[in-house]
Chains A and B, each alone.
Chain A
């Protein structure tokens, strides 16, 4: 991190320490995207990433009084984020449900739409793509990706067979991908991005989508 940026953040945190809610809002807007992406990468689930990020910012606000006495409050912020991740992940990874959910997500052979979801321009497209889905597919997809339910749980919730859930989600995934393709063919940047999707190995994929 550049020295002037560090200084800038420290200043912002000092204002927060004085109870300045606007400063806190600015701080949130600055760091949300990045923190969210990192947490999504480590949890593989939107709802967990959301929870963690939310908890970290709330904790930061609760502890704002002590920012003034810290040499490097940003460092405190990172440590809090890491601890929060540890606490959540430790709990969730012991659950059968979570393992089941991950297996299902990992087993979908093709690159999942969420991995494309790296930054906010794509978020908008992604939302649009989901809203275009037929009702049942949309429901199954959201229950899986946003609520983190397993296929079995979704089947119970929707009162259909598990195989039907799998089919819905498979179709939804393909439609979303197709929608991305159709919507972005005008923008050169995105064609490039999609080429990356096809050509690069998955590990590079993540980074390319992050920093493109």
Chain B
């Protein structure tokens, strides 16, 4: 086929007037690198001539913008420098108690000794462990770039502080698992271009190439997904034997730590369907489903997205949380155990604090609001 003939076919394709034979030969020729680059040149030419048009107001623009906006606002606008200014010392003091009871409770106790600062515990950081199909384990951090593994045609790369799969011509399906221990957070770009961010103490198991009818993954802990849409290949997130999320191209957060009372799925953009036991619950953006252990589903219409996504944006958000809930988060991020000396105080917290504080800084803010605690080794004792 000559270039001229190909260009003719391309014109025909763009205007939907190819016969069956022509279409097939066009699609075949389009795989030829020579012709492929030709399409690229012509497309680039058209793009470069693209003029700014007036404001797009169509439904389609709104729909696409809705999806994009979630990605845009998921990034923090500015990193927060904790404890630099007097104002922030106050704001980062986070954890301001609303319950007077806690004061009463704590004031009746004697002051504990000063914290030992030289054994401070650093906050969590980027990192994970990748388990390959053959059981090999690879430690991942944000520093290196390059190929981590090559499995049956799928290249696994470290880039931009995350893991990425490049499924070239892979035709065999093997499974990999990425696990974040306590104190680590990491992201992976799956073979279809979809991305998953893992909070601490979480995991995701996925095929190294999505060659089947659908795109199945299994998770534990807390994972935020941004899924590349594919109408013919649904993306499915399995949480446990009874709970599965069917994805239609979208971004959403799943929180399913062992010990949590409910499995929470929150949709930021797009559409998902939650399958729990025998129920199916579709979600709209801004909604959250909570699946209880008995299989009951509760739908929350206006979920607090800022709070739910705080972890991905480098923050703890303690809005309306109890002391135990706050401590569970600290346990996972600082890789510590929390022990209560007596009954935990009944308090509700509010506010946000950076996840880059050291543990002693966190304890200091806790003490400012009347919660007494000490560190012994990796155990935080709350009195």
Binds A, one of B52-60, B115-123, B310-318: B52-60
The answer to the question of A136 belonging to the interface, with a C-beta cut-off of 8 Å to chain B, is no
**Complex contacts, A1 vs chain B, CB 8 Å:** 48-49, 51
Q: How far is the CA of A123 from the CA of B64 in the complex (A)?
A: 15
Pick from B39, B59, B67: contact of A123, CB under 8 Å: B59
Interchain nearest-CB distance for A136 vs B (Å): 20
**Complex contacts, A41 vs chain B, CB 8 Å:** 14
A28 pairs with B231, CB closer than 8 A: no
Q: How far is the CA of A61 from the CA of B56 in the complex (A)?
A: 19
B30 and chain A: residue at smallest CB distance: A93
- Known A-B contacts A25-B65, A99-B23, A106-B23; A202 and B16 likewise in contact (beta carbons under 8 Å): yes
The answer to the question of B13 belonging to the interface, with a C-beta cut-off of 8 Å to chain A, is yes
**Complex contacts, A61 vs chain B, CB 8 Å:** 68, 71-72, 75
A32 pairs with B72, CB closer than 8 A: no
A54 pairs with B68, CB closer than 8 A: yes
- Known A-B contacts A86-B36, A120-B58; A44 and B64 likewise in contact (beta carbons under 8 Å): no
The interface size bin for chain A is 35 or more
Q: How far is the CA of A105 from the CA of B23 in the complex (A)?
A: 11
B51 pairs with A34, CB closer than 8 A: yes
The answer to the question of B40 belonging to the interface, with a C-beta cut-off of 8 Å to chain A, is yes
User: How many residues from B make CB contacts under 8 Å with A?
Assistant: 52
A202 pairs with B50, CB closer than 8 A: no
B64 pairs with A50, CB closer than 8 A: yes
- Known A-B contacts A21-B73, A28-B68, A78-B44; A120 and B231 likewise in contact (beta carbons under 8 Å): no
Q: How far is the CA of A78 from the CA of B47 in the complex (A)?
A: 6
Q: Which of A9, A24, A34 has the most CB of B within 10 A?
A: A34
Q: Which of B13, B39, B228, B232 has the most CB of A within 10 A?
A: B232
The answer to the question of A35 belonging to the interface, with a C-beta cut-off of 8 Å to chain B, is yes
B71 pairs with A34, CB closer than 8 A: no
Pick from B31, B44, B61, B228: contact of A33, CB under 8 Å: B61
Pick from B23, B30, B43, B249: contact of A38, CB under 8 Å: B43
Pick from B30, B64, B69: contact of A32, CB under 8 Å: B64
A114 and chain B: residue at smallest CB distance: B16
The answer to the question of A187 belonging to the interface, with a C-beta cut-off of 8 Å to chain B, is no
Pick from A54, A102, A127: contact of B64, CB under 8 Å: A54
B61 and chain A: residue at smallest CB distance: A32
The answer to the question of A11 belonging to the interface, with a C-beta cut-off of 8 Å to chain B, is no
The answer to the question of A85 belonging to the interface, with a C-beta cut-off of 8 Å to chain B, is yes
Q: How far is the CA of A62 from the CA of B162 in the complex (A)?
A: 14
Pick from A42, A105, A112, A124: contact of B14, CB under 8 Å: A42
A99 pairs with B16, CB closer than 8 A: no
A28 and chain B: residue at smallest CB distance: B65
The answer to the question of A73 belonging to the interface, with a C-beta cut-off of 8 Å to chain B, is no
The answer to the question of B24 belonging to the interface, with a C-beta cut-off of 8 Å to chain A, is yes
The answer to the question of B46 belonging to the interface, with a C-beta cut-off of 8 Å to chain A, is yes
Pick from B13, B61, B68: contact of A58, CB under 8 Å: B68
The answer to the question of B112 belonging to the interface, with a C-beta cut-off of 8 Å to chain A, is no
B residues 331-354 touching A (CB-CB < 8 Å):
none
- Known A-B contacts A53-B64, A82-B43, A93-B31; A148 and B232 likewise in contact (beta carbons under 8 Å): yes
The answer to the question of A149 belonging to the interface, with a C-beta cut-off of 8 Å to chain B, is yes
**Complex contacts, B77 vs chain A, CB 8 Å:** 19, 21
The answer to the question of A206 belonging to the interface, with a C-beta cut-off of 8 Å to chain B, is yes
Interchain nearest-CB distance for A74 vs B (Å): 8
Pick from B14, B30, B56: contact of A206, CB under 8 Å: B14
B232 and chain A: residue at smallest CB distance: A97
**Complex contacts, B40 vs chain A, CB 8 Å:** 82, 86
A58 pairs with B20, CB closer than 8 A: no
Interchain nearest-CB distance for B25 vs A (Å): 12
- Known A-B contacts A38-B47, A42-B14, A106-B16; A120 and B65 likewise in contact (beta carbons under 8 Å): no
Pick from B14, B44, B52, B64: contact of A79, CB under 8 Å: B44
B residues 71-123 touching A (CB-CB < 8 Å):
71-73, 75, 77-78
**Complex contacts, A105 vs chain B, CB 8 Å:** 16
Among all A-B residue pairs, the 5 with the closest Cβ atoms: A78-B47, A32-B56, A30-B52, A147-B231, A120-B58
Known: A33-B56, A99-B24, A123-B59. 9 other contacts (CB 8 A): A30-B52, A35-B50, A50-B64, A51-B229, A54-B64, A62-B71, A112-B16, A149-B231, A202-B17
User: What are 18 inter-chain pairs, A to B, with CB distance below 8 A?
Assistant: A19-B77, A21-B77, A30-B53, A33-B61, A36-B60, A36-B61, A47-B229, A55-B193, A55-B228, A57-B64, A78-B47, A94-B31, A115-B16, A120-B58, A123-B60, A149-B231, A202-B16, A206-B15
User: Which residues from chain A sit less than 8 Å from chain B, CB to CB?
Assistant: 1, 5, 9, 19, 21, 24-25, 28-36, 38, 41-42, 44, 46-47, 50-51, 53-55, 57-58, 61-62, 75, 78-79, 81-82, 85-87, 89-90, 93-95, 97, 99, 102-103, 105-107, 112, 115, 120, 123-124, 127, 147-149, 153, 202-203, 205-206
